[in-house]
Structure 1
């Protein structure tokens, strides 16, 4: 059985990634794409400024773009709706969709911290999908959130360390790619010969979302982790794709560099074993031993962009662990994670919609 899916907000960078990945997906039929009213009723190829490295899939070039409204979604009757909208629009439209009974996988930041809304990074916390049953008290449908891109990369690296050695403190300094701000997000005059040491609300997202993703599922909610804290500093850099993060952490007990490496290399997934999802990389975390890796240009496409790459694992003289982690922000950190969540939803669809 294939699931019928719609992409709401199909012309931005994340929307384009979603369209590209879903157009040829073995589990999904892409039956509709939407955009703003000025782009509606035109062919997709005529309204999108295609910005990905691969050619636009032929089977979507001629698709007619729908205006983003509830009536059009109701006419399409999808099983799953992927939304990639600005937060000021998404905060209302997501809720309209779930009130209508749709299963919504949303990339916007609204509702991410709601206690009954799973914020999923599947290899890390796929079991949190079970909190969806609590949403029956609020909506006819179900709402799932894709985490912030830098958070997705960070928590995938932290998960095996937390499971094996515990965490007390995590400090992270990010060097985030331009694509994270969208097609028109940062002007050339602002970023050329420059680094911008501020991204609005980004530090709070990383700090709060990480604790929820690494939190515990209970009968009543997802409880954010209280055993450690995360402190973030963020920077926009002149790189097209790939967020590089410098991580400093203290474990519960002293641990060797080799033990950290082993835990990362051997990590596959969380409590739900054998996820067996098409977009899941066979090796979610790749460890490199070169002194100057990972690098965005060289390492961002590992695992078709779904793997993260960790390098420069070392200790300081106070036994803090330090490393760099890189992930493809619009794939692992956004659309690819959204599709992976969609696969997890599809595999558990009957349980989710009950």
Structure 2
């Protein structure tokens, strides 16, 4: 078993990490960190549990630590659910101390020697870990992208055999993406908010890195453009998006690509049977009906139309955050980087 910790374990994504890691066959959850006001408490007392699944009692007695490298000395790998403004210093200190970091934070995503990974799409970018170690870092930092970027790039993986140069996407993003305290009820109830800070920019630049080519020294960005419009909607979990891509009218071939594409990854605990699932119904995918497919790790696709236009949807705190980092870690271990 590999000893792991969660940084920022009491927040929305932190709780999702804890839920998914409790009972994991390869990872032993041994350290949970949070702010100073939670440090010293048992996790069951520090975390105001708000997920839809029962509290994992087997981790309830873990004493929460302050978020410092000293508190992480007995772990081999940490999962970071820290906000970006706090993640930078702590994650780098962990990497320099020989700890592997799988981060959900945006801080290092666009650094030239840091992998920005969706395993089914660009697992080969994990070779950038060697670039970090060549610079003298004993550990490493591996990031997963923004939650909406993950849904988009998963949907693009089956389309790599087609020729295209321009992607446009409009998202309808769940309120859980803003955290437990992120959006007041009076702001989102009976409403739609057509702005999420930095979200459009993240989708536009992260997609190009993920879909780009790693030549062993650097990533060459993908040769297409991405334009995003991001909206917050009154859905609890599940980011939906409408995608326009300039593939010349080949609806049947695109549908077949979505139906038949499979990941080439080995069998891993968090990898769903179908990373992409095409639903041949006129009113799907829908968050409430489809977000828990593949235990929340499947991206559902539907409504392919001439243009090409289609719908994509996935669970933002599982596929789009904690589950993505855990799958990254499983691939890292499978490829002997840890």
Residues 75-94 of structure 1 mapped to structure 2, 5 A cutoff: 77-94=74-91
User: Do residues 313 (structure 1) and 304 (structure 2) align?
Assistant: yes
Q: Which residue of 2 aligns with 1:263?
A: 257
- Please state whether the residue corresponding to 2:130 is helix, strand or coil: helix
Q: Which residue of 2 aligns with 1:221?
A: 218
Residues 226-241 of structure 1 mapped to structure 2, 5 A cutoff: 227-241=223-237
Q: Which residue of 2 aligns with 1:275?
A: 266
- 1:192-245 CA-partner distances (Å, limit 9, x unpaired): 1111000000000000000100000112112211x2110000000000000000
Residues 34-73 of structure 1 mapped to structure 2, 5 A cutoff: 34-73=33-72
1:278 CA drift (Å): 1.1
Q: Matches of 1:8 and 1:192 in 2, distance apart?
A: 31
- 1:67-116 CA-partner distances (Å, limit 9, x unpaired): 11111112xx2111111101000011111111111110111101101121
User: Do residues 322 (structure 1) and 309 (structure 2) align?
Assistant: yes
State the TM-score, normalizing by the size of structure 1: 0.93
Given that 1:115 and 1:223 are in contact with CA atoms closer than 8 Å, whether structure 2 keeps it comes out as no
Given that 1:165 and 1:255 are in contact with CA atoms closer than 8 Å, whether structure 2 keeps it comes out as no
- Please state whether the residue corresponding to 1:38 is helix, strand or coil: coil
Q: Matches of 1:70 and 1:131 in 2, distance apart?
A: 23
Q: Which residue of 1 aligns with 2:2?
A: 3
State the TM-score, normalizing by the size of structure 2: 0.98
Comparing 284-293 with 326-335, greater Cα deviation is found at: 284-293
User: Do residues 346 (structure 1) and 333 (structure 2) align?
Assistant: yes
User: Do residues 334 (structure 1) and 304 (structure 2) align?
Assistant: no
- Please state whether the residue corresponding to 1:311 is helix, strand or coil: strand
Runs of 4+ in 1 over 4 A off after TM superposition: none
Given that 2:297 and 2:319 are in contact with CA atoms closer than 8 Å, whether structure 1 keeps it comes out as yes
- 1:13-34 CA-partner distances (Å, limit 9, x unpaired): 1111111111110011111111
Residues 134-145 of structure 1 mapped to structure 2, 5 A cutoff: 134-136=131-133, 137=135, 139-145=137-143
- Please state whether the residue corresponding to 1:104 is helix, strand or coil: strand
Q: Which residue of 2 aligns with 1:245?
A: 241
Q: Which runs of 5+ in 1 are unaligned?
A: none
Shift of the 127–68 alpha-carbon distance from structure 1 to 2, 3 Å rule, reads: same
1:275 CA drift (Å): 2.2
- Please state whether the residue corresponding to 2:126 is helix, strand or coil: helix
Q: Matches of 2:47 and 2:62 in 1, distance apart?
A: 12
Q: Matches of 2:315 and 2:174 in 1, distance apart?
A: 9
Shift of the 94–288 alpha-carbon distance from structure 1 to 2, 3 Å rule, reads: same
Q: Matches of 2:273 and 2:239 in 1, distance apart?
A: 21
- 1:169-201 CA-partner distances (Å, limit 9, x unpaired): 100000000000000000111111111000000
Comparing 169-178 with 90-99, greater Cα deviation is found at: 90-99
- Please state whether the residue corresponding to 1:37 is helix, strand or coil: coil
1:157 CA drift (Å): 0.2
Q: Matches of 1:289 and 1:264 in 2, distance apart?
A: 11
Q: Which residue of 1 aligns with 2:115?
A: 118
Q: Matches of 1:108 and 1:25 in 2, distance apart?
A: 22
Given that 1:257 and 1:314 are in contact with CA atoms closer than 8 Å, whether structure 2 keeps it comes out as yes
Comparing 282-291 with 134-143, greater Cα deviation is found at: 134-143
- Please state whether the residue corresponding to 2:301 is helix, strand or coil: strand
Please, what is the CA RMSD of the aligned residues? 1.1
User: Do residues 189 (structure 1) and 186 (structure 2) align?
Assistant: yes
1:139 CA drift (Å): 2.1
Given that 2:127 and 2:216 are in contact with CA atoms closer than 8 Å, whether structure 1 keeps it comes out as no
Q: Which residue of 1 aligns with 2:196?
A: 199
Q: Which residue of 1 aligns with 2:18?
A: 19
